[in-house]
A = this chain, B = another copy of it.
Amino acid sequence: MDDTLQQTPYKSTMVVIKVGGSAGIDYDALCDDLAALWTAGQRLVLVHGGSGETNKLAEVLGHPPRFVTSPSGYTSRYTDRRTLEIFEMVYCGTANKGLVERLQQRNVNALGLSGLDGRLLQGRRKAAIRIIEGGRQKILRDDWTGTIERVNATLLHTLLDDEYLPVIAPLACGAQGEALNVDGDRAAAAIAVALGAQVLLLLSNIPGLLRDFPDEASLIRHVPKTEIDEYLPYAQGRMKKKLLGAGEAIAQGVQRVVIGDARVSGCVSRALEGTGTVIM
């Protein structure tokens, strides 16, 4: 299963990592691992979450989160304008700068950006979204979410060539220049494709795709890239978007996607070694 990494010298590979924002993730251990890899010459781009902290802040600010489900079963955060601001406070504020600071403390010259900055991620707004509520379809408006249509790979190459580690908050810049909340896993997939990355790691607070959720012993260790759709029925909640992102990445040339666990020390190295659900 390690053919990809064995074939390509370690230092020349590009690895894009998405780390989630749910409870249980040890960001200090994550940054220890990232710093060791970076110092050894591994080229990395980090995309991060912030969902747990966003939910907490939204509650305290009296604007509690609302999650909606699409007719095809994907769950996402309903993002009205106030939610977008709260999202920015956490994702662009504490989450992004917390990671940049941890990396700087480990002598890695990290540079935090959102997809809005320099039109790093150009997206299309879904101004009206179709949701299922109480068994019926509804249309929601005033939603500031979107899908990614284009990645400014030139900007990322410039930063990487100058030895900055990009740390990216999943916002996008819409066609009218508006800020959009986009899915972090799919943002990481789009970035991996645009950079021609060999490997995409989707790390969160779960060991990978589980055959019998939430039984962690039921981890599916390998998904052949031609059979992703057949494994979709096992995906619960946010795992659906991870498989979707994995499929998008693989279809566009990324050689290997690993859905792995960010709660353990050395989580990036372990996922690179194939711990988790490997899709290739």
Contacts and interface: CB of A to CB of B under 8 A. Distances in A.
A39 interface: no
Interface stretch (A172-180, A192-200, A224-232): A172-180
Contacts of A112: 92, 113-114, 116-117
A4 interface: no
A220 interface: no
A24 interface: no
A218 interface: no
A158 interface: yes
Interface residues of A, number: 42
Interface in A76-126: 85, 88-94, 96-97, 100-101, 103-107, 109-114, 116-119
A92 B117 CA distance: 12
Interface of A: 57, 60-61, 85, 88-94, 96-97, 100-101, 103-107, 109-114, 116-119, 154-155, 158-159, 162, 164, 171, 173, 176-179
14 contacts: A93-B93, A97-B114, A97-B116, A97-B171, A101-B178, A101-B179, A104-B116, A104-B178, A105-B176, A105-B177, A110-B117, A111-B113, A118-B164, A154-B162
